[in-house]
Structure 1
Amino acid sequence: MTNSGNLAGCEVEEKLRREPYSFDFFQAIRLLEKFRPERKSVGQFVHPAAEIAHFRAHPSLAFPASQIQDLEWPEDGPVRMLVNFMGLIGPEGVLPNPYTSLIIERQRDGDNTLRDFLDIFNHRIISLFYRAWRKYRVDVACERGERELFSRHLLSLLGLGTEGMRDRQTLSDESLIYYAGLLAQRPRSAQALQQILSDYFDVPVGIEQFSGGWYRLDPETQCRLSEENSDSGELGFGAVVGDEMWNQQSRVRIVIGPLTLERYADFLPDGQSFEPLRGWVRFFSNDEWDFELKLILEREQVPACTLGADGVSGPQLGWVSWVKSAPFQRDPGDTVLALESTKG
């Protein structure tokens, strides 16, 4: 792989030398930075002789056919790049055309004084233009190892921008950054959760809202007929028979499957995907709802219940324990697991 990469880099550099006009300006500078890593990038507060390139405006009134007119590769010193855009003179220069015409006439007589003087400003203007372009390109920043600033911005959208909040989740910060676009939405939707889980685990995912569940009442809220002046004992107002109540809107069911047996086992409480799934659910919901997990196994993957069997096909009561005498006609979805309980 290393030899192939070096060979490809040599071929690209050779083409850049032969046909600079066929390259985009920004891409050409990025390549020069790769080919000459010992030199400084353009636009910094360093001596111009230490930079990777020196920019000059092309003194011509002809229509520019490319962004780069020519490249000169001195043995030592910056590459000299003749460009057809921006600058003070040339086809897209900001000075009136007579300045370009004057420079062309002086060049015919071998006098480059005015052109060299204006190129001092051309170089700085074009250098800052490149740095402004690079500043807001995430791929370029990561390429140069400068991803920290952008990552901090994305983590700030998720409430994790300060150092004390970094790397404290069950999930890696890189995973949260990858889905920052969905996680930053307010309010967060069931569709966003479905897209995140389906993409992260690479499995079919469905979200069933308002699945409901029983919740235990605190002792002080339970109905006791012997108590006086208690809201819990007032008929039609707070009286509840029993120590539990049904809440339809506080529980969400995540349905995953149909799955192969091996993938099914990953989402069981002792599987490698169970804790990451709980981490996603907790971070996404901020503990506002309870979640439960329903796993669906492919009917062809249902194992025979054999006592003493080992591995993922071994019987586990409530998880992997189907008794069958014939192939299943449906995908079994009997396994329902609690992911997070916020209300006891």
Structure 2
Amino acid sequence: MDTGLGHEADALTFLDALAREPYRYDFYQAMRRLECLYSARPRWGSALRPADEPVRLGQDPELSFPPTAIGSFDRGTGDRPARLQVRLFGLFGPNGPLPIHLTEYARDRLRHEGDPTFSRFVDLLQHRFIALFYRAWAQAQPHVNRDRPSDDRFRVYVGALIGTAPGALHGEDSVPALARLYHAGTLGRQVRNADGLAALLGDFFRVPVRIEQFVGHWMALGGRERTYLGQEGAVLGRGAVLGARVWDCQSRFRIHLGPLGLDDYEAFLPAAAGPHRRVDEGRRLRQLVDWVRFYLCGEFDWDVRLHLRRDEVPPTALGSGARLGWTTWLGTRRQPDDAADLCLDGETFVTRERVA
């Protein structure tokens, strides 16, 4: 039996239990488990031919109201496919659309004559009815859609709400798509605030995060934005600006990460240049930049300050692989506070790395 999963022991255990005690399983539970076991086959209700579906579906012709959802399960042998007989839904029975005497006729032929001809003929008609009945339920269940990630409809639905539907993101992006979907509640809000960004980054990186707003910095002015004598708008106290830069406090913020251990601290550093660079070096900084870009869409300038725990500040020694200006402190550091000397412009480092 090819289940398509490679876990034959688990598959056989479930099939044996379903055949031995079918009354212990709910209809949706059993159908979902069977769909997962035969992952190489089409989903229930989507096959073009009944032969493409791993299990034949039918209904036990009974006159009583169904005490259980599933009547029986036969694993099949050789060319004979497996068969699942249900009780809760179908053409037969007191809840079925067929006249009750047809249910009685099919039941009598099956019980007293051992002749399943009429029952199997009706099963030819209702096999797809039962499969579509399950498919209608499964399409509205996000967790069932996740059973087959390549065919996950809710991933497209949720992604469309936050701008990550298929084809929405172009170019390099180091943030996993599922991480964005997990934070769809935060990313889907129209208001983007500091608390939301801090919560998002803290949950993704699993480190303490604090956002410092209104960080002052010098903003360079372009040639057309500077004041020149004789030009329109060069009025003192109204539109004239002295110099090639201005002090700005409203368009920049700072992300504080930490206190961090030395391993986490080094993980947020930019990738080193040269042939000895590790494959994953600079990955967390790239993820940080991509998160901020996606959350703010480039509306603000920002930088990141790394806080290294004071008890993990490494001593400086030649040949230890320390990086000058990033993981080196001359002498013995005696300050009682954590080391927060390093402030990085993540956008500049990541852009330079990707262009190179």
**Distance apart, 1:129 and its partner CA:** 1.3
Q: What pairs up with 1:25-44 in 2 under 5 angstroms?
A: 25-33=27-35, 42-44=44-46
d(CA) in 2 for partners of 1:222, 1:31:
69
Q: Which residue of 2 aligns with 1:169?
A: 173
Structure 2 SS opposite 1:87: coil
Q: Give, as a single letter, the amino acid of the residue that structure 1 aligns with 2:83.
A: R
Q: Which residue of 1 aligns with 2:345?
A: 338
Q: Which residue of 1 aligns with 2:320?
A: 310
Which of 77, 81, 89 pairs up with 1:78? 81
**Distance apart, 1:148 and its partner CA:** 6.5
- 1:132-153 Cα deviation digits (max 9, x unpaired): 2343445544544633655544
Structure 1 SS opposite 2:346: strand
Q: Which residue of 2 aligns with 1:194?
A: 198
- Is 1:321 aligned to residue 329 of structure 2? yes
- Is 1:260 aligned to residue 261 of structure 2? yes
d(CA) in 1 for partners of 2:307, 2:333:
20
**Distance apart, 1:300 and its partner CA:** 1.0
**Distance apart, 1:254 and its partner CA:** 0.8
Structure 2 SS opposite 1:126: helix
Q: What pairs up with 1:211-290 in 2 under 5 angstroms?
A: 211-224=215-228, 227-231=229-233, 233-270=234-271, 272=282, 273-290=284-301
**Distance apart, 1:204 and its partner CA:** 1.4
**Distance apart, 1:239 and its partner CA:** 3.0
d(CA) in 2 for partners of 1:206, 1:287:
19
**Distance apart, 1:13 and its partner CA:** 2.2
Which of 10, 13, 16 pairs up with 1:8? 10
Q: Which residue of 2 aligns with 1:20?
A: 22
- Asked if the contact 2:27–2:70 (Cα under 8 Å) also holds between the matched residues in 1, the reply is yes
Quickly say closer, same or farther: Cα 1:281–1:249, change in 2 above 3 A. Answer: same
**Distance apart, 1:324 and its partner CA:** 3.9
State the TM-score, normalized to the length of structure 1.
0.78
Q: What pairs up with 1:88-99 in 2 under 5 angstroms?
A: 88-90=91-93, 92-94=95-97
Quickly say closer, same or farther: Cα 1:81–1:147, change in 2 above 3 A. Answer: closer
- 1:68-100 Cα deviation digits (max 9, x unpaired): 111233323332222121223335435576665
Q: Percent identity?
A: 34
Quickly say closer, same or farther: Cα 1:209–1:101, change in 2 above 3 A. Answer: farther
Q: Which moved more, 1:292-301 or 1:215-224?
A: 215-224
d(CA) in 2 for partners of 1:193, 1:94:
56
- Asked if the contact 2:74–2:84 (Cα under 8 Å) also holds between the matched residues in 1, the reply is yes
Q: Provide the alpha-carbon RMSD of the alignment.
A: 3.5
Q: Which moved more, 1:33-42 or 1:174-183?
A: 33-42
State the TM-score, normalized to the length of structure 2.
0.76
Q: Which residue of 2 aligns with 1:183?
A: 187
Structure 2 SS opposite 1:16: helix
Which of 304, 311, 329 pairs up with 1:300? 311
- Asked if the contact 1:25–1:67 (Cα under 8 Å) also holds between the matched residues in 2, the reply is yes
Structure 2 SS opposite 1:256: strand
Structure 2 SS opposite 1:77: coil
Structure 2 SS opposite 1:70: strand
Unpaired segments ≥5 residues, structure 2:
1-5, 272-280, 349-356
Q: Give, as a single letter, the amino acid of the residue that structure 1 aligns with 2:191.
A: P
- Asked if the contact 1:135–1:141 (Cα under 8 Å) also holds between the matched residues in 2, the reply is yes
- Asked if the contact 1:57–1:84 (Cα under 8 Å) also holds between the matched residues in 2, the reply is yes
Quickly say closer, same or farther: Cα 1:80–1:205, change in 2 above 3 A. Answer: same
d(CA) in 2 for partners of 1:325, 1:181:
43
Q: Which moved more, 1:102-111 or 1:191-200?
A: 102-111
Q: What pairs up with 1:105-144 in 2 under 5 angstroms?
A: 110=113, 115-144=119-148
d(CA) in 1 for partners of 2:161, 2:330:
46
d(CA) in 1 for partners of 2:43, 2:164:
32
d(CA) in 2 for partners of 1:132, 1:281:
39
- Asked if the contact 1:55–1:82 (Cα under 8 Å) also holds between the matched residues in 2, the reply is yes
- Is 1:64 aligned to residue 66 of structure 2? yes
Quickly say closer, same or farther: Cα 1:36–1:280, change in 2 above 3 A. Answer: closer
Q: Give, as a single letter, the amino acid of the residue that structure 2 aligns with 1:55.
A: L
Q: Which moved more, 1:195-204 or 1:37-46?
A: 37-46
d(CA) in 2 for partners of 1:197, 1:39:
39
Q: Which moved more, 1:244-253 or 1:87-96?
A: 87-96
d(CA) in 1 for partners of 2:177, 2:52:
37
Quickly say closer, same or farther: Cα 1:289–1:55, change in 2 above 3 A. Answer: same
d(CA) in 2 for partners of 1:308, 1:144:
53
Matched positions, count: 331
Quickly say closer, same or farther: Cα 1:214–1:37, change in 2 above 3 A. Answer: closer
